[in-house]
Amino acid sequence: MTELHSMQDGFVLNNGVKNPCVGFGTYKTADGSDTEVLKMAIKAGYRYFDTASFYGTEAFLGESIREMGIPREELFLTSKLWKTEMGYHETKQAFEETLKNLGTDYLDLYLIHWPLPEDGYQDWKKLDIDTWRAMEELYRDGKVRAIGVSNFLPYHIENLLENCEVRPAVNQIEFHPGYTQEFTVRYCQEQDILVQAWSPIGRSSLLNHPMLMEMAERYGVSVAQLCIRYALQRNVVPLPKSSAMERMKQNQDVFGFEIGREDMLRLGSMAQTGWSGLHPDGGSVRSASK
Ligand code: NAP
């Protein structure tokens, strides 16, 4: 495991950029014009934010950062290109819109949100390559410090690797105890692609799991902290979301304990639980709406 002692530490991406070790997830943090939660997260100490054009939180995040007077260089900002924005020209346009929403002139990380624009889409290989070509240009122009993907399976990544000049630095996937996507994680780590965890605490569906509760109690932490720490010990970047100051702070307090080997093995091989039902190839148990 990479040595991590605080939120200021991070993982080095395959292009040398440092990706801080814990980010704040902004999906469903800003209803209407409410920047309260985002400003609270900044007050709680978060400087690394994970947003996406699809979330509708970019502009509220930009506003919160401005109002709180946080210098741009202290921040690590990730956003994502939505399914309807894929394609060479569309990507360039969507990126400019994202910058405008955030009120910044560069991103730290820009990701393709999903490999396919819709379930069963046949021409995804060409669409992904065209989209990636635009991402590479944004990267070369210095408008984004690193580029990557989200919800890509190994064969989606291979399509890019076979055709790209800049390798993806990141793959952001659903990852938590009970759904660790071992095959994809192993592939990415072998390829030097950093894995980031969305829904690292299973969107709170894991909080009452008996084994996790027992384990968390032994370490004197909450189940959420156990899940966040689990990701870190797997060299995976957790992006927890919370709307309460106490839990925002708790989710950063994950450097004072270490999960033992037997527990790590148990967490990595427990029965599937808490899966969102979303799968990159579609055919999910629920429709792939996010
Ligand atoms: P999550 O972070 O696993 O779970 C959030 C839920 O856990 C909220 O209901 C929150 O409640 C609760 N919670 C947080 N900390 C807690 C604690 N310490 N104790 C008890 N409950 C706690 O799920 P998520 O929001 O789905 O995922 C996180 C981020 O990943 C998103 O915000 C987004 O940035 C990203 N994401 C990306 C994708 C993708 O396709 N790339 C998909 C989904 C999500 P409270 O708010 O009440 O604290």
Ligand 1 atom with the shortest distance to the CA of 203: 4
- When pLDDT is averaged across residues 26-43 and rounded to a whole number, the result is 88
**CATH number, domain with residue 158:** 3.20.20.100
- When pLDDT is averaged across residues 212-236 and rounded to a whole number, the result is 98
Q: Is the C-beta atom of 64 inside 6 A of ligand 1?
A: no
Asked whether residue 226 is domain-assigned, the answer is: no
Asked whether residue 265 is domain-assigned, the answer is: no
Q: Is the C-beta atom of 26 inside 6 A of ligand 1?
A: yes
Asked if the model's pLDDT at residue 98 lies above 90, the reply is yes
Q: What is the pLDDT, as a whole number, of residue 30?
A: 76
31, 110, 201, best to mutate for ligand 1 pocket (most atoms within 8 Å of CB):
201
Of all protein residues, the one whose alpha carbon is nearest to atom 14 of ligand 1 is 242
What is the pLDDT confidence band of residue 282, given thresholds at 50, 70 and 90? confident
Asked whether residue 92 is domain-assigned, the answer is: yes
What is the pLDDT confidence band of residue 79, given thresholds at 50, 70 and 90? very high
Asked whether residue 251 is domain-assigned, the answer is: no
Ligand 1 atom with the shortest distance to the CA of 198: 30
Asked if the model's pLDDT at residue 288 lies above 90, the reply is no
Q: Is the C-beta atom of 58 inside 6 A of ligand 1?
A: no
Torsions phi, psi for 221 (to 5 deg) = -130, 175
DSSP H helical ranges for the chain: 36-43, 58-68, 88-102, 124-140, 154-163, 182-190, 210-219, 223-233, 245-250, 261-268
Check: CB of residue 63 under 8 Å from CB of residue 35. Answer: yes
Write the pLDDT tens digit of every residue in 237-280: 999 999 999 999 999 999 999 999 999 999 999 999 999 999 99
Domain of residue 37, residue span? 10-201+235-242
**282: number of CA atoms within 13 Å, CB side?**
9
Asked whether residue 15 is domain-assigned, the answer is: yes
Ligand 1 atom with the shortest distance to the CA of 50: 34
| 159 alpha carbon – ligand 1 mean position (Å) | 30
Contacts of 116 (CB under 8 A, 6+ apart): 83, 124, 280, 281, 282
Q: What's 236's DSSP letter? A: E
Chain-wide mean pLDDT for the chain? 95
Q: Is the C-beta atom of 279 inside 6 A of ligand 1?
A: no
Let me know how long the chain is.
290
| 216 alpha carbon – ligand 1 mean position (Å) | 18
| 1 alpha carbon – ligand 1 mean position (Å) | 24
Q: What is the pLDDT, as a whole number, of residue 284?
A: 60
Total domains present in the chain:
1
Ligand 1 atom with the shortest distance to the CA of 52: 34
What is the pLDDT confidence band of residue 34, given thresholds at 50, 70 and 90? confident
For the whole model, what pTM was predicted? 0.97
230: tokens are: 């689990």
- When pLDDT is averaged across residues 41-57 and rounded to a whole number, the result is 97
| 127 alpha carbon – ligand 1 mean position (Å) | 30
Q: What is the pLDDT, as a whole number, of residue 290?
A: 39
Q: What's 144's DSSP letter? A: B
Write the pLDDT tens digit of every residue in 115-140: 999 999 999 999 999 999 999 999 99
Beta bridge partners of 198: 174
| 134 alpha carbon – ligand 1 mean position (Å) | 30
Asked whether residue 76 is domain-assigned, the answer is: yes
Q: Which residues are catalytic?
A: 55
Asked whether residue 64 is domain-assigned, the answer is: yes
Asked whether residue 250 is domain-assigned, the answer is: no
Q: Is the C-beta atom of 148 inside 6 A of ligand 1?
A: no
57-76 burial, b at 16+ Cβ within 10 Å, e below that, comes to bbbbbbbbbeeeeeeeeebb
